[in-house]
Chains A and B, each alone.
Chain A
């Protein structure tokens, strides 16, 4: 059972905008930055963006992130087939004193 809650799956068509939610508590999302990771099929995860909207070089600005209270969201606009992947949220938890992650959301591009 993951500490952060994400929907198991979502889908969209090319060009659409999709959002993925991540719900936590005051000790994790409510207090710390939320990071999002993308895992393409058969590959290692890679950092995508954080709730401060900091993206590594190479990540397009179609990806954006936000946070409000104890929830966070990842938005992908102008959806492309190459965006089909698993997406995970993560945050530091001040009470557990360790990292907590969401269960992951599988994005399908139809």
Chain B
């Protein structure tokens, strides 16, 4: 049974940093591209970052480029998102999701909330 569990969210001051984690189980993690997608309060979904299966190619949305870094550790079946220089507009629930080609994001975690406030 495929399972994704995010952690690491919390309350942080503007300009601060956090490291979000996503623990994967129930599938061969190293076979899949992975993404982070966020949802601000009362708003829609926004794709943030993706990483290929080997971890040697990443892409970030323009809104987070230079501030967020996606990475993975296939030996630990884990995905990460280092978020830095945080702004109020980064306040959101952050979801990790497995990518499956034409099936899109076929599995999602439950999300971890990040609140940026002084």
A interface, CB within 8 angstroms of B:
2, 32-33, 35, 37, 39, 44-47, 50, 52, 54, 56, 86, 88, 90, 97-104
Contact = CB atoms under 8 A, between A and B. Distances in A.
Contacts of B108: 44-47
A44 to B, nearest CB: 5
Contact of B46 (A47, A97, A101): A101
Contacts of B35: 99
Q: Is the interface of B mostly helix, strand, loop or mixed?
A: strand
Main secondary structure of the interface of A (DSSP, over half): strand
Contacts of B59: 97-98
A104 B35 CA distance: 19
Interface residues of B, number: 20
Given A44-B95, A98-B61, A88 B103 contact: no
Contact of B105 (A52, A86, A90, A98): A90
Contacts of B109: 44
Contacts of A33: 102-104
Interface in B70-99: 95
Given A50-B102, A98-B61, A44 B44 contact: no
B61 A88 contact: no
B17 interface: no
B50 interface: yes
A56 B45 CA distance: 21
B103 A35 contact: yes
A101 B111 contact: no
